[in-house]
Structure 1
Amino acid sequence: MRYAPLAALVLIAAPAVAAPAPAWTIDKASSQVTFVASMNGQPINGSFRRFDARIAFDPANLAGSSVTAVIDIASVATGDATRDESLPTPDWFNVKVFPRATFVSKSFKSLGGNRYQALGTLTIRGVARPVALPFQLAINGNAAQMRGTLTIDRPWFGIGQGQFASPDTVAAAVKINIAINARKAG
């Protein structure tokens, strides 16, 4: 067969498809997604009490790794009743129209040691933006601890409308802290 060498060359030159990385299940009771914003120069600490993620990760197989995280925006809490009633409204998160925020990874990069970077798309209020999430990961057998921090610019996502659109009262930068404890599935 005279095309066999050509077929072999095509197979050799074809990019390898990475096998999927092992799946991980979040321990929601010991994991958290928190944020720090600033109003009139004073910090506002808050958290999202409900979130989940599909995680497939292997430091030795970054090409086969993926994360899709979903945050229930209505679960936002800051400990201040007035603020907590305001955040779900159209001026802020507009949870009736946009009940979830999502992060979908595109790729991962090793930064050396137990440090990595997840490149992906963060969607809040229907606005999708590329982000880079640096994180540290410690894996001990079937248990993993991930810690990462991402600073976003709230106006990029339309968080804060009307009188809150300007960063004069509520600062534009919001720091999101992620602490995930997970167990290898299966």
Structure 2
Amino acid sequence: MRRTALFLSLLAAGTLGQAQAAPADPAKSSVKFVFTQMNVPVEGQFKKFSADIAFDTAKPDTGKVNIAVDLAATDAGSSDANQAVQMKEWFNTSSYPKATFSANQFKPLGGGKFSATGQFSVKGKTANLTVPFTVKPDAKGSWYEGSFPLSRLAWKIGEGEWSDVGAVADAVQVKFKLYVAK
């Protein structure tokens, strides 16, 4: 009877067969981006974000990830750029304060490489996005690292006069490095 009760409570809590999500360590983790303005690469970063990751390399089909980025805490390289990216033409942070990515479909690619497919939302638009990443375990946890290209115009980031790709290129490379302790 006790075993049945324990089994049912684990099942009800969703812990049977699924890894438990753990938060990424914000002091060790980063989410950055690189864009080209006037043919000059500019690197920026999102200073505030949260990431909850449940992932077992031996059972990728049980994984899940939820990432939320605070767009008002964007460092785009200068104080003028930091103010500009919050405007309606860019992230419109007064209406859309966060960008999110939630995935529960994972595919092994070999050699410690995987892909995560899920819903990406930014500036009021949501669509499927597949993100490649590697997993590098260490003695105290795991590093999840990857990068992917994003078309800013497809997501209406940099509208109006900023839609001219001669001034700011359409392609933005997003790079992440997330550390989750055991």
Structures share a fold, TM > 0.5? yes
CA displacement 1:105-158 (0-9 Å, x = unmatched): 140000112111111121110111211111110123441011100110001111
117, 120, 138: which one aligns with 1:119: 117
1:25 Cα offset (Å): 2.4
Partner of 1:43: 41
Partner of 1:26: 24
Partner of 2:3: none
1:161 Cα offset (Å): 1.2
Partner of 1:131: 129
Higher Cα Rg: structure 1 or 2? 1
1:20 Cα offset (Å): 0.8
Alignment partner of 1:171 is 2:151: no
Partner of 1:7: none
Alignment partner of 1:152 is 2:147: no
1:65, 1:182 → 2: CA distance?
Answer: 14
On the 8 A contact 2:21/2:64 being kept in 1, the answer is no
1:168, 1:128 → 2: CA distance?
Answer: 27
Among all aligned residue pairs of Structure 1 and Structure 2, give the percentage whose two residues are the same amino acid.
29
Task: Output the aligned Cα RMSD.
Answer: 1.3
CA displacement 1:62-102 (0-9 Å, x = unmatched): 12110010000001002311111111010100000000000
Taking structure 2 as the reference length, what is the TM-score of the superposition? 0.87
Partner of 2:11: none
Q: Which structure 2 residue ranges, 5 or more long, are not aligned? A: 1-15
Alignment partner of 1:103 is 2:101: yes
1:36 Cα offset (Å): 0.2
Equivalent AA in structure 1 for residue 106 of structure 2:
F
